[in-house]
């Protein structure tokens, strides 16, 4: 099973630069979040992923840690640049499927907590996010570009 997974990852690494399209990955048991150091496979519901153009990827146990990484990438991976990022995936709260992180809607201040506490809950549609805000007392609905280091700090 493990070798199978390795083969898949290798295949992905080889094929990705050619196609230029990066499919979301699933977390392996040993994958750790580079921001908090926790194993991500335990929290598949909150999985966030950054996939680089060279096919490598980093996984996070929540959108919050993904933003911490994204907003300060040099701290975690000096060799990489924001322009190296091909895709960002986050988990849609209702369907639990990976969605494009740059186009997602994020709700902050809700009563749903992730493995790292207060979270930005991602949604593929605005209507879903609005419904979630009502059900779970969300405070603010934001887009990807509106996330700032100060806002993330406010969540911690």
Partner 1 sequence: MRALEKQRNILDFTLSSLGRRKGKNIALVLVYTFVIFLLASVLFFSHSLKKEAALILQDAPAMTVQKLVAGRQDLIPTHYIDSIRQIKGVQSVAPRLWGYYYDALSGANYTLMVNADLNDRAGEIVIGNGVSWRSAAGKRNQPLRKNEIIPFKTYDGSALSLKVSGLLPFASELVTADLILVSETDFRKIFSIATGQATDLVLQVRNAKELPVIATKITQIHPDTRPILREEILRTYDAVFDWRSGVIIMVLAGVFLAFIILAWDKATGLSAEEKREIGILKATGWETTDILLMKFWEGAAVSLMAFFMGIFLAYLHIFLASSILFAPVLKGWSVLYPHFRLTPYISGYQIATLFFLTVIPYTVATIVPSWRSATIDPDSVMRM
Element (H, E) at 122: strand 121-123
Nearby residues of 32 by Cβ (< 8 Å), 6 or more positions away = 38, 39, 40
Among 128, 138, 147, 152, binds partner 1 (CB under 8 A): 128
Q: Determine, following the binding rule CB under 8 A, whether residue 106 of this chain makes contact with partner 1.
A: no
Among 18-26, 52-60, 63-71, 88-96, the segment contacting partner 1 (CB under 8 A): 88-96
User: Between residues 102 and 136, which has the closer beta carbon with respect to partner 1?
Assistant: 136
Residue of 9, 136, 142, 151 that binds partner 1 (CB under 8 A): 136
How far apart are the C-alpha atoms of 65 and 86, rounded to whole Å?
A: 18
Q: How many residues bind partner 1 (CB under 8 A)?
A: 11
Q: Is 131 in the site for partner 1 (CB under 8 A)?
A: yes
CB distance 139 to 100 below 8 Å:
no
Closest CA to 6 of 14, 105, 103, 85: 14
- Smaller CB distance to partner 1: residue 45 or 54? 45
Among positions 47-76, residues that touch partner 1 (CB under 8 A) are: none
């Amino acid at each position: 099973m493990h070798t199978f997974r390795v083969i898949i990852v290798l295949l992905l690494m080889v094929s990705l630069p050619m196609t230029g399209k990066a499919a979301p990955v699933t977390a392996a048991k040993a994958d750790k979040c580079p921001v908090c150091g926790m194993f991500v496979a335990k929290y598949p519901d909150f999985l966030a992923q950054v996939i680089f153009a060279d096919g490598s990827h980093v996984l996070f146990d929540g959108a919050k840690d993904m933003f911490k990484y994204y907003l300060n990438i040099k701290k975690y991976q000096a060799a990489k640049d924001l322009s190296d990022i091909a895709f960002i995936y986050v988990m849609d709260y209702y369907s639990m499927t990976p969605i494009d992180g740059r186009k997602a809607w994020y709700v902050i201040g809700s009563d749903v907590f992730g493995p790292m506490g207060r979270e930005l809950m991602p949604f593929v549609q605005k209507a879903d996010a609005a419904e979630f805000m009502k059900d779970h007392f969300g405070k603010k609905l934001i887009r990807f570009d509106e996330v700032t280091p100060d806002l993330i700090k406010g969540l911690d």
